[in-house]
Amino acid sequence: MLKNNPFNRLFFKLLLGFWLCSSLIIALVSLLPLLQQNHDRSPLPPSLERMLENVAERIQEQPQLLEGKNLQRLRHNRNKDGGGDRKHNGGPLRLYLTDGEGQVLNSKHVSRGFRRFQLMAEEADQPISHQFRDELIFGPYSFEVNSKPYQLFGRLPDNHPRPWFFFFADNKLLTAGLAILLSGLLCGLLAWYLGKPLRSLKHSANALARGDLSSRVDAATANRRDEMGQLAIAFNGMADAIEAMVNNQQRLMGDISHELRTPLTRLQLSLALARKKGQHSTELDRIEYEAQQQDALIGELLTLSRVTLNVSEKRLTAELTETLSQVLDDAEFEAEQQGKQLHIDIDESIRFNHLPRTLSRAIENLLRNAIRYADQHIYIESQQTKNQVRIVVSDDGPGLPEEELEAIFAPFYRPDSARDRVSGGWGLGLAITQAAVEAHKGRIVAKNQPSHGLIVTIDLPI
Q: Which of 39, 109, 130, 258 is catalytic?
A: 258
C-alpha dihedral sign at 160, 166, 169, 171: positive
Task: Tell me how far apart the alpha carbons of residues 345 and 206 are, in angstroms, rounded to a whole number.
Answer: 33
Judge contact between 104 and 111, C-beta under 8 A.
Answer: no
Task: Tell me how far apart the alpha carbons of residues 114 and 130 are, in angstroms, rounded to a whole number.
Answer: 10
Q: What Cα–Cα distance (Å) separates residue 277 from each residue in 264, 266, 284, 289? A: 20, 17, 13, 19
What radius of gyration, in Å, describes the C-alpha atoms of the chain?
A: 46
Judge contact between 447 and 439, C-beta under 8 A.
Answer: no
Q: Active site includes 377? A: no
For residue 142, what are the β-bridge partners? Answer: 151
For residue 128, what are the β-bridge partners? Answer: 43, 139
Give 382's Cβ-side CA count (13 Å radius): 18
Q: What DSSP line would sit under 56-82, residue for residue?
A: HHHHHH-GGGGSHHHHHHTTB---STT
Residue positions annotated with a catalytic role = 258
